[in-house]
Amino acid sequence: MEVRVRYAPSPTGLQHIGGVRTALFNYFFARSSGGRFILRVEDTDRERYSDESLDDLYQTLDWLGIKWDEGPVVGGPCGPYIQSERFELYRKYAEQLVRDGKAYYCYCSPERLEKLRAEQVASKSEYQGYDRHCADLTDEERAEYERQGIKPVIRLKVPTEGKTTFHDILMGDITRRNRDVSPDPILLKSDGFPTYHLANVIDDHLMGITHIMRAQEWIPSGPLHILLYEAFGWEPPVYCHLPMVMGKDGQKLSKRHGSTSLRDFREKGYLPEAIINYVTLVGWSLDGSTEFFSKEELEKCFRIENIHKAPGVFDYKKLDWFNGYYIRACENSRLEELVLPYLVKAGFIGENPSEDELELVRKLVPAAKERMKVLSDIVPLSAFIFVDEPVVDAAVYCAKGSDADNTLSALEKGSEILLSGLKEGREYGKIEEDLSSLAAGLGVKVNGVFQPLRVAITNSTVSLPLFDSISLLGLEETEKRINRAIGILEAKNE
Ligand code: GLU
Ligand code: ZN
């Protein structure tokens, strides 16, 4: 049997980490088992629908390099793959259930249902929900409602006795008493729109879906879906509800923990390979120890059996660590292109960069690469080249264990060693050695010499390596900034 899986998001918000994880698991499972990955847009909720979310869905999958075998844009044998283009079909199937006695028309007004709910709440009734008022209408009663022009909904007849079990390959058997399944849920609304349950079950069946991998929050819908499959006389697919994605505090991942939308991650400058690698490890592992996986590897080695039962923890720091790794692994030429938009947006270089600006970026990238966790780090790391805002707080120049006095000496003597060394073309390593000896002579730590130089040159305590900074800035500008810093410290020491 060929594996057919789907990612079936509702375009009611931006793609987030949890959704992307669902997409990746489905995609990798399809690829590694020689099956097909289907994209289906579940846009039946027209009130919460937005074009922006749909665009964001396509952009996210494109950016990740996840291609769907069937779905919107590419088409396929079971199309259309956008639910709003399939409404006629849902009506047809719902009406068939009515004819088979598995569902019925309900003409209750919103007012009646509201009153019913209020009564149930007031009487603290154990029984909540629709009272099956229209379950056994006679033909005459129905005809009368129709004459009044009332548009009915179609409700599923949920058995009041017995139990329904569905099997989940991770969670085992999940059983509910039928009387606890929501009483006679609406399948088709009065305006002809299907509800999620109806459209989801019909499409999974018609699209030949063999495995449903989706978030655990859909487990409560499981028994109802099984009842629907039974009502239609269809075989349900295999279920695999995925472990939750948690923050480090054990709570469901949410905006409280940080960004969750992929758009935010893209904008901050995470690389697709880092997101793919790390997000796949949230709730899945090959052998419990291998950490680095390329997309191509995952397309081969992903096994459904290796999905964890326990919730997965999304650790932002760990993602940064992966991203730093992938930035370092990035070809310089690609990295130049990737950082360019950040430099343009910061106003550091023009929208149509000149040859000189491009040359500068070519020098900047290898210097910054080791120190970047996200692409946007290029902006703070390189700001000193483009905007000159000297540090006027003398304390910032002082390394731990140094005071204003020896920091001034370190800067004066250090700059002599540095600048004369550079002018004479001494090796960087040699200059560094001399600066270290200076520190020893002054009785301060190595950083007692390097920190004031770094702050003087780059206006910051975190920056690019010293010699890279100087080479990007030019000797003349470097000298000017060091002398300025000496002035700042002298004024302070007076
Ligand atoms: N449209 C649902 C969602 O947004 C799909 C759930 C499912 O995969 O069945 O998550
Ligand atoms: Zn009714």
> Based on the number of CB atoms within 10 Å of its own CB, is 424 exposed (0-12), middle (13-18) or buried (19 or more)?
exposed
Confidence band, pLDDT 50/70/90 cuts, at residue 207: very high
Q: What are the pocket residues of ligand 1 if the criterion is a CB atom closer than 6 Å to any ligand atom?
A: 8-10, 42, 200, 214, 218
- Note the ligand closest to the C-alpha atom of 49: 1
Residue for token pair 């097909």: 36
Q: pLDDT at residue 127 above 90? A: no
CB 384 within 8 A of CB 469: yes
pLDDT value at residue 449: 97
pLDDT value at residue 1: 86
What CA–CA distance (Å, rounded) separates 59 from 251? 28
Distance between Cα 131 and ligand 1 center (Å)? 28
pLDDT value at residue 493: 75
3-state secondary structure of 354: coil
Choose, from 67, 255, 345, 423, the residue flagged as catalytic: 255
CA 280 to chain centre: 11
- CA-closest residue to ligand 1 atom 8: 214
Can 255 be counted among the known catalytic residues?
A: yes
Whole-number Cα distances in Å, 420 to 411, 480, 483: 14, 14, 14
CB 422 within 8 A of CB 487: no
With a pLDDT cut of 90, the percent of the chain lying above it is 96
- CA-closest residue to ligand 1 atom 5: 8
Q: Which atom of ligand 1 is nearest to the CA of 42?
A: 1
CB 82 within 8 A of CB 43: yes
Global confidence as pTM: 0.94
- pLDDT by residue (tens digit) across 78-102? 999 999 999 999 999 999 999 999 9
Confidence band, pLDDT 50/70/90 cuts, at residue 307: very high
- Note the ligand closest to the C-alpha atom of 8: 1
CB 202 within 8 A of CB 231: no
Angle at 96 between CA 95 and CA 101, to 5 degrees: 95
Q: Which atom of ligand 1 is nearest to the CA of 200?
A: 9
